[in-house]
Amino acid sequence: MNQLQVQGHSGHSTIYIDSAISELKNLRRGRRMFIITDENVYRYHSTLFPDADEIIVVPAGESSKNLEDVSRLYERLIDADIDRNTLIIGIGGGMVTDLAGFVAATLLRGVACGFVATTVLAQVDAAIGGKNGVNIKGYKNLVGTIRQPEFVINDTAMLRTLNDDQFINGLSEVIKSGLIADRALFELMETHGPQIVATRQGLLGEALGRAARVKVDVVNRDEFESGERRLLNLGHTYGHAVEKITRMHHGFAVAIGMVVAARLSVQRNMLSADDAARIEQVIAAIGLPVSVDLGTDALMDAMRKDKKRQSDKVNYVLLDAIGHAVVTPIEYSELERTLDDLRRPHA
């Protein structure tokens, strides 16, 4: 079986690529086990769940990722006499893995945890790397920890029940992984992206495995986001602003952000116009948006308020090739001018 290893200061994690939820019973190693999942994952997949001491089902969606729900989970686990020889398992997308990971990291000052990742986004990004957190006062992931899960099981078959938007949403992060660090992955999405969307099999496992490897490699070099981990934010500065204003899916907004980052890279003579056009085509071919009609003022305002802002500059992730990204500080004034330029129809 295909495995990747995260070797962090906050722990060691094995990522089982293209694996199956049935692997859980081997990884349990006789421990008491509590499963945290959401109502959609439970509805579609509970028959695959192994026996557990308790299965706790939270409402689906981002609104469950908050301190009140965390507190309710603590209470249920304490009532069930949880002890240090217990395994907490999050089975779900990034919402569930963030929530379960945070509960496991903080209850009893740390209980072992593992994840079964059931969305594309969780399999290539959210479940890997040990970051977990909850939202507070409308701010995302402002309370959290960095602590590696013991393992992550990526079960590709469970992705078949995702709706089309959720499936494509995660593929945006797959394209991102290719763009920042794996040209062959980008090319795989270029040649087979639409087929992967249509069939949800074939080269899907290969694409997800390669994308997970990009995340693992970055985390292994920079677990606490002091430098290289920022490369994972390609498309996110602009994408977060679009997401905030329009409330569109995260991956959709990041797709538009990646197109903008590619065009910015062309303007700075880092990337060829041909490569930027290829990027746009790959994104569009799998059904992700490449543009949105928003005014520069609203976008600039949202970007300035983003927590990654640093004084009058923003650390923007640009591309100097397909498969290679660089963090570049850009003055807000330059960004504003460029966004205005980008709004004009280009040849």
Ligand X SMILES: NC(=O)c1ccc[n+]([C@@H]2O[C@H](COP(=O)([O-])OP(=O)(O)OC[C@H]3O[C@@H](n4cnc5c(N)ncnc54)[C@H](O)[C@@H]3O)[C@@H](O)[C@H]2O)c1
Task: Give the residue from 113, 106, 172 showing the smallest Cα distance to 133.
Answer: 106
What element of type H or E holds 200?
none
Q: How far apart are CA 114 and CA 34, in angstroms?
A: 10
- Applying CB under 6 A, the span of 78-86, 122-130, 188-196, 285-293 interacting with ligand X comes to 122-130
**Interface pick for ligand X out of 58, 122, 168, 254 (rule CB under 6 A):** 122
Cβ count within 10 A of residue 304: 13
Among 15, 87, 121, 211, binds ligand X (CB under 6 A): 121
Of 227, 343, 320, nearest to 272 by C-alpha is: 320
Distances (CA, A) of 257 to 44, 127, 242, 262, 323: 32, 22, 8, 9, 16
How many residues form the binding site for ligand X (CB under 6 A)?
Answer: 30
Count the residues in the chain.
347
* 158 contacts ligand X (rule: CB under 6 A): yes
Q: Does 119 bind ligand X (CB under 6 A)?
A: yes
Q: Which region, judged by CB under 6 A, interacts with ligand X, from 16-24, 159-167, 197-205, 238-246?
A: 159-167
Question: How far is residue 82's CA from residue 111's CA, in Å, rounded to a whole number?
Answer: 9
Quote the least distance from Cβ 272 to ligand X, whole Å.
30
In whole angstroms, how large is the CA radius of gyration of the chain? 20
- Tokens representing 293? 């009609």
149 belongs to the binding site for ligand X (CB under 6 A): no
Residues 26-65 interacting with ligand X (rule: CB under 6 A) = 38, 40-41, 44, 60-62, 65
Residue 126 near ligand X by CB under 6 A: yes
State in angstroms the smallest separation of the CB of 218 from ligand X. Answer: 11
Q: Cα torsion for 170, 212, 133, 257, to the nearest 10°?
A: -50
Using a 10 angstrom Cβ sphere, with 0-12 exposed, 13-18 middle and 19 or more buried, the burial of residue 122 is buried
307 contacts: CB under 8 Å, gap ≥ 6: 139
x-marked contacts with ligand X along 238-277 as a string, rule CB under 6 A: ----------------------------------------
Site string for ligand X, 166-185 (x = CB under 6 A): x-------------------
Single out the residue of 13, 19, 86, 118 in contact with ligand X (rule: CB under 6 A). 118
Residues 286/194, Cβ–Cβ less than 8 Å: yes
Selected range binding ligand X among 9-17, 78-86, 124-132, 253-261, rule: CB under 6 A: 124-132
- Segment lying near ligand X (by CB under 6 A), choices 26-34, 77-85, 157-165, 318-326: 157-165
204 touching ligand X, by CB under 6 A = no
Candidates 69-77, 114-122, 197-205, 326-334: pick the segment binding ligand X (CB under 6 A). 114-122
- List phi, psi (to 5°) of 137: 50, 40
Residue 26: how many other CB atoms lie within 10 Å: 8
CB 28 within 8 A of CB 49: no
Residues 84-113 that bind ligand X (CB under 6 A): 92-96, 98
Residue sitting closest to ligand X (CB): 94
Q: Which of 21, 33, 162, 214 binds ligand X (CB under 6 A)?
A: 162
Which of 13, 19, 132, 148 forms a contact with ligand X (CB under 6 A)? 132
**Which residues have a Cβ under 8 Å from the Cβ of 174 and sit 6 or more positions away?**
120, 124, 185, 189, 207, 208, 211
Q: In angstroms, give the least distance from the CB of 329 to ligand X.
A: 23
Binding site for ligand X (CB under 6 A): 38, 40-41, 44, 60-62, 65, 92-96, 98, 118-119, 121-122, 125-126, 129, 131-132, 140-141, 158-159, 161-162, 166
